[in-house]
């Protein structure tokens, strides 16, 4: 491409992106298409001759990228969304174009230093000891695999390894356990206590029973913000227990970890810094584009021992102990410079701005909780925890089956209406609607409007249902 063409294309991309940002909240938080139509349009052989670059950009921007969840939309409250900052997006663009391979000090000394520095920021935010370190990975799923390799090796790679977690733990943890060689029947998912926390007494009994049966506990996996309810396990007590028992403590802080940059978050996550390993996703509550997962371990050697292998073909890249090759800490050799986005966005806005944006998640979740509590049509199923609230429509007088049908119907109505995006979870077999509020542009009006709409759709359903009680045929015809 000629320099002029490069500039023209890039300017067009910037225009499209800024226009998207400016109009994002006016459109729906989701769009999508069934496979058949998309396949007809795109499932074609690659062209032998290229075409105009501007036309290709335009097609990607109009016909491909919009057919996706708009996870950065201020009324996207489903799953765990993210709203990346502009400097962090530019950082990904820059490091891609700079062709950084962030595997060794020789290939990328500048970006390696930034990765060490940013990891050290995160270490301090989480209150981990000096000497703790880690690396950027794709996400918390990937981080958990690395953590459990470290745990397994630290335990001496015993036969019959077992791993412990609560029934609220993200499925990626069980998947990581299976990946590192724990048998499915040795992945212990323990019933959580009345507050959805890992039950320490139950854990202790299970570990003792497993040891008596000749099995080898290698890790306890605790939550610092479950995806369902935002619950934090008793981290300090678990750290005591694991230290006494000599078992590795991994903390899944994928969603909740960055709350630790605020005073309130630090209190809620007290004890997290004592973990042997922590996974945390900057592509959730720290406003970074995918993929910005991060793994911290108390002792970097626990990663470097299992993962450092000598390759003849890169033997020239060994610079010595103060020049770590980050690739020696994980499975990935060629790596993007993932930490640059975090560094650039923090440099641009400062920590005070990040702290304010994270605090807003707490405040808006409390605001949502209050609105749920004060509306007789709504039932609070789990109070605001970090920035997640669970609730359902419950006008009273309906049995559990009807309530589930009602709430699934409301969820579908909200989805197809396209004003807001919410998702659901299951709390002790109860179908729950759920808001996760981590967007830097969300206002209290966005939250109120979403809850108002839930109530409105709930009322409509109840009216139809009551009419259906009089005329049964109409009720079945209008059921989803
Ligand atoms: C998102 C999430 C994960 C998985 O992280 P990825 O970055 O998607 O791999 C694990 N645990 C929790 C609590 C999460 O919210």
CA of 255 to the centre of ligand 1 (A): 7
17: alpha, beta or left, given left = phi > 0 and alpha = psi -120 to 50? alpha
Atom of ligand 1 nearest to the CA of 143: 9
Calpha distance 186→166 (Å, rounded): 14
CA of 407 to the centre of ligand 1 (A): 25
Are the CB atoms for 335 and 327 separated by under 8 Å?
Answer: yes
Please report, to the nearest 10 degrees, the dihedral formed by the alpha carbons of residues 110, 113, 118, 123 taken in order: 170
pLDDT value of residue 154: 98
pLDDT value of residue 477: 38
Helix (H, G, I), strand (E, B) or coil at 278: strand
Could you read off the pLDDT of 424-464 as tens digits, one per residue?
Answer: 999 999 999 999 999 999 999 999 999 999 999 999 999 99
Tell me the average pLDDT across 159-181.
Answer: 98
Are the CB atoms for 472 and 409 separated by under 8 Å?
Answer: no
CA of 140 to the centre of ligand 1 (A): 5
CA of 168 to the centre of ligand 1 (A): 13
Please determine, for residue 473, whether its predicted confidence score (pLDDT) is greater than 70: no
Could you read off the pLDDT of 36-61 as tens digits, one per residue?
Answer: 999 999 999 999 999 999 999 999 99
pTM score > 0.85 for this model?
yes
Q: Which of 145, 176, 198, 281 has most ligand 1 atoms within 8 Å of CB, for mutation?
A: 281
Average pLDDT, the chain: 96
Could you read off the pLDDT of 119-143 as tens digits, one per residue?
Answer: 999 999 999 999 999 999 999 999 9
With the C-alpha atoms ordered 281, 283, 287, 288, is the resulting torsion angle positive or negative? Answer: positive
CA of 204 to the centre of ligand 1 (A): 26
Calpha distance 444→431 (Å, rounded): 25
pLDDT value of residue 122: 98
pLDDT value of residue 228: 98
At residue 469 the predicted structure's pLDDT band, cuts being 50, 70 and 90, is: low
Calpha distance 42→60 (Å, rounded): 11
Determine the angle formed by the axes of helices 86-97 and 339-349, rounding to 10 degrees.
140
Neighbours of 114 (CB within 10 A): 21
User: What percent of the chain stands above pLDDT 70?
Assistant: 98
User: What percent of the chain stands above pLDDT 90?
Assistant: 94
Strands 248-253 and 216-223: parallel
Tell me the residue length of the chain: 480
**Partners of 295 in the β-ladder:** 135, 279
Could you read off the pLDDT of 360-412 as tens digits, one per residue?
Answer: 999 999 999 999 999 999 999 999 999 999 999 999 999 999 999 999 999 99
Report which protein residue has its CA nearest ligand 1's atom 2. Answer: 254
Report which protein residue has its CA nearest ligand 1's atom 5. Answer: 140
Please determine, for residue 479, whether its predicted confidence score (pLDDT) is greater than 70: no
CA of 288 to the centre of ligand 1 (A): 14
pLDDT value of residue 272: 98
pLDDT value of residue 474: 43
CA of 169 to the centre of ligand 1 (A): 10
Are the CB atoms for 421 and 264 separated by under 8 Å?
Answer: no
Residues with CB under 6 A from ligand 1: 80, 139-141, 170, 172, 226-227, 252, 254-255, 281, 293
Q: Which of 71, 141, 145, 438 has most ligand 1 atoms within 8 Å of CB, for mutation?
A: 141
pLDDT value of residue 480: 36
At residue 30 the predicted structure's pLDDT band, cuts being 50, 70 and 90, is: very high
pLDDT value of residue 318: 85
Q: Which two tokens stand for residue 75?
A: 């009324």
Atom of ligand 1 nearest to the CA of 223: 13
pLDDT value of residue 321: 77
Calpha distance 154→156 (Å, rounded): 5
Which of 278, 161, 173, 280 is CA-nearest to residue 216?
Answer: 161
Please determine, for residue 478, whether its predicted confidence score (pLDDT) is greater than 80: no
Task: Kindly report the backbone phi and psi dihedral angles of residue 181, in degrees, each rounded to the nearest multiple of 5, phi listed first.
Answer: 100, 10
CA of 214 to the centre of ligand 1 (A): 32
Which of 79, 76, 95 is CA-nearest to residue 87?
Answer: 95
Instruction: Give Cα 314 to chain centroid, integer Å.
Output: 34
Tell me the average pLDDT across 258-265.
Answer: 98
Q: Which uninterrupted H or E stretch holds 236?
A: helix 235-245
Helix (H, G, I), strand (E, B) or coil at 398: coil
Report which protein residue has its CA nearest ligand 1's atom 12. Answer: 254
Q: Which two tokens stand for residue 249?
A: 């403590």
């Amino acid at each position: 491409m000629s320099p002029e063409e490069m500039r023209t294309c890039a300017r067009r991309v910037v225009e499209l992106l800024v226009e998207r940002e400016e109009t994002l909240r006016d459109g729906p938080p989701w769009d999508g298409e069934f496979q058949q139509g998309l396949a007809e349009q795109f499932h074609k052989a690659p062209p032998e001759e290229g075409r105009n670059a501007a036309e290709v950009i335009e097609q990607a921007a109009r016909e491909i990228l919009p057919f996706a969840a708009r996870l950065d939309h201020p009324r996207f409250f489903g799953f765990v969304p993210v709203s990346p900052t502009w400097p962090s997006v530019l950082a990904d663009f820059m490091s891609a174009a700079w062709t950084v391979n962030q595997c060794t000090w020789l290939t990328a000394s500048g970006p390696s230093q930034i990765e060490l520095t940013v990891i050290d920021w995160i270490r301090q935010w989480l209150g981990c000891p000096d000497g703790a370190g880690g690396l950027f990975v794709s996400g918390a799923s990937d981080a958990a695999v690395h953590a459990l390799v470290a745990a397994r090796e630290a335990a001496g790679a015993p036969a019959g390894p077992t791993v412990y977690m609560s029934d609220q733990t993200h499925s990626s943890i069980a998947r990581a356990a299976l990946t590192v060689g724990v048998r499915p029947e040795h992945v212990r998912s323990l019933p959580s206590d009345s507050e959805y926390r890992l039950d320490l007494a139950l854990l202790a009994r299970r570990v003792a029973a497993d040891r008596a049966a000749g099995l080898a506990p290698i890790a306890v996996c605790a939550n610092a913000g479950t995806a369902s309810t935002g619950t934090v396990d008793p981290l300090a007590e678990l750290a005591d227990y694991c230290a006494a028992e000599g078992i590795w403590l991994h903390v899944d802080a994928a969603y909740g970890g960055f709350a630790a940059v605020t005073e309130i978050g630090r209190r809620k996550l007290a004890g997290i810094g004592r973990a042997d390993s922590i996974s945390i996703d900057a592509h959730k509550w720290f406003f970074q584009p995918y993929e910005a997962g991060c793994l911290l371990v108390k002792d970097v050697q626990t990663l470097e021992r299992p993962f450092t292998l000598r390759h003849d073909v890169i033997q020239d890249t060994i610079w010595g102990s103060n020049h770590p090759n980050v690739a020696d800490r994980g499975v990935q050799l060629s790596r993007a410079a993932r930490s640059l986005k975090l560094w650039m966005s923090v440099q641009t806005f400062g920590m005070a701005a990040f702290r304010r944006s994270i605090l807003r998640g707490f405040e808006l979740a409390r605001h949502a909780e209050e609105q749920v509590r004060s509306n007789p049509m709504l039932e609070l199923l789990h109070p605001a925890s970090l920035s997640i609230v669970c609730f359902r429509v419950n006008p009273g007088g309906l049995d559990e089956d009807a309530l589930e049908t009602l709430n699934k119907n409301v969820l579908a109505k909200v989805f197809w209406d396209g004003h807001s995006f919410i998702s659901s979870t299951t709390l002790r077999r109860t179908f729950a609607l759920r808001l996760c509020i981590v967007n830097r542009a969300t206002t209290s009006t966005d939250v109120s409007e979403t809850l108002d709409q839930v109530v409105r759709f709930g009322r409509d359903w109840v009216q139809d249902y009551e009419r259906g009680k009089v005329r049964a045929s109409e009720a079945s015809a209008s059921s989803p």
